[in-house]
Amino acid sequence: MKPFNISEIRKDFPILEQAIKGQPLVYLDNAATSQNPSAVLQATSDYYREYNSNIHRGTHHLSQLATERYETARKTIAQFLNVTPEETIFTSGTTDSINTIANIVGLSGKIGKEDTILISHLEHHSNIVPWQMLAERTGCQIRVIPVLDNGTLDLETYEVLLDESVKLVAFNQVSNAFGTVNPAAKMIKMAKEFGAITVLDGAQSVPHGAVDLRALNCDFFAFSGHKVYAPTGIGILYGRKELLEELPPFKGGGEMIKEVSFEGTTYNDLPFKYEAGTPNIEGAIALGTAIEYLTQFDKSEVNAHERDLILAGAEAVSKIDGSTLYGPDDRIASLSFSIEGIHHYDLGTLLDNMGVAVRTGHHCCQPLMARYGITGTTRASFAFYNTMDDVERFSTSLKKAVSMLR
């Protein structure tokens, strides 16, 4: 393991060295998109400069080199998730992954008019809308696991909602809006007692430590590269092998086939069955590099550092008169809050003028915002490259912005 030295880590992220409107950048929008270390930037550049070529199809040197790097990245990510490479499918991100699941499950006929899909009130729109679209096509019902006042899921009601009609349960491991950590293993086990397919959104959990999918025992898992120090436009869909082999493909074209004739087509083996067309090759290689970069640090040290950051941030917000913090005290990464009498957009704009980047709005969680009677929040979200100096700058700038708006 590499020693956790925050000063040295900061040097790996060149974007953090810049000034915004004359102020040193404090980047606290990591739940939306994280920054890329130099190793990832170099991996992207190397692909286009040194071996830019299509994969799996060529006998020439560049194609073979690109294929080797692409498949090595897949193996790295599979090992990180504790699954097999054939269960590890490259997609464009979490949204693409969940839409793929919804479509292949829908095409399989496993969900019909008399069936139910369970989702939670904490979900991002990408884990709501695809299931609504599936419900429109099949006539199935969607039920919602309620969220309690403290920002955690109502597990007692979840237990009541589970019955023989539930064919699929989808929820996030960590809430992007509130930082709530859901008891994923417990919820998956409960769902499987009724034979339901389980879908876990890991977009906000993967950036903050290794995820053991064998231990979680979910059927599907999705995450995005751009939230875990990799580029945009790349992500992962994990699917349990037996289920992926049983389900039909969703997209047709090159790579996902073995034999094609006008009379019919034979589909390829996993994972290629679900990777139609030329993929985001450099994105996959860069994602593998990002995972390698992240795993060189001791997980407990990273988690402790991030925990200190969000606790300090929460304390700073709580000292502002009229402030409301959303989510439980044991939230991770995302700190969502409102200030009485101040619109979140105005607050975010002033913070930006002071060099502090936060996210404002509903965070693609409009049903969740409606549950609390608000249109949105201000959200400061932390990564392991943030520092206590960042928190201090955030605190000072927040106080100044609030005084100006009042």
Determine how β-strand 166-172 pairs with β-strand 197-201.
parallel
Please tell me which residue in 140, 218, 364, 365 is annotated as part of the active site.
364
Separation of alpha carbons 345 and 350, rounded Å: 9
The structure tokens listed for 365 are: 């969680």
Return the bridge partners of 88, or none: 238
* Rounded distance between C-alpha atoms, residue 353 and residue 78, angstroms: 42
Concatenating the DSSP letter of every residue in 203-218 gives TTTGGGS---HHHHT-
Question: 45: Cβ–Cβ under 8 A, 6 or more apart, which residues?
Answer: none
- Enter the tokens of residue 27: 């980047």
Is 364 a catalytic site residue? yes
The owner of tokens 């299931």 is: 131
How far apart are the C-alpha atoms of 329 and 331, rounded to whole Å?
A: 5
Cα gap 368→340, rounded to integer Å: 19
CA 150 to chain centre: 22
Q: Using the 8-state DSSP alphabet, how is residue 308 labeled?
A: H
* Enzyme catalytic residues: 364
